[in-house]
Amino acid sequence: MILLIDYGNTRLKWRLVSSVGVEHEGATAEGAQALQSALGNYGRAITRVAVSMVGSEQAMAALSATLEKFTRASIRFYWSEQVRDGLRNGYVDVSLMGADRWHAMLGAWQASRSGVAVVDAGSALTVDYIAPGGQHLGGYILPGLQMMRESLHRGAARVGFDDAVSLCTVPGTSTSDCVNHGLSWLNVGIVEHIERDVIDLGLESVVITGGDAERLLALGLKGEHRPGLVFEGLALVDQAEAAP
Residue 49 pairs with which residues in a beta bridge?
3, 75
- Report the C-alpha gap between 56 and 36 in whole angstroms: 20
Angle between helices 99-112 and 229-242 (to 10 degrees): 90
- Report the C-alpha gap between 118 and 137 in whole angstroms: 11
Q: Is 123 annotated as a binding residue?
A: yes
Q: Is 101 annotated as a binding residue?
A: yes
Answer for the pair 181, 169: CB distance below 8 angstroms, yes or no.
Answer: yes
Q: Is 91 annotated as a binding residue?
A: yes
Measured between alpha carbons, how far apart are the two ends of the chain, in Å?
A: 17
Tell me how long the chain is.
244
Q: Is 98 annotated as a binding residue?
A: yes
- Burial of residue 66 (CB within 10 Å: 0-12, 13-18, 19+) is middle
Q: Is 6 annotated as a binding residue?
A: yes
Q: Is 175 annotated as a binding residue?
A: yes
Instruction: Give the Å distances, CA to CA, from 71 to 4, 21, 46, 47.
Output: 14, 20, 7, 8
Q: Pick the closest to residue 38 from 47, 210, 29, 186 (CA basis).
A: 29
From 100, 128, 212, 238, the catalytic residue? 100
Q: Is 100 marked active-site?
A: yes
Answer for the pair 44, 8: CB distance below 8 angstroms, yes or no.
Answer: no
CB proximity list for 64: less than 8 A, separation 6 or greater: 75
Q: Is 8 annotated as a binding residue?
A: yes
As annotated, the binding site for substrate includes 91, 98-101, 175
Residues with catalytic function: 100
Annotated binding-site ranges for ATP: 6-13, 123
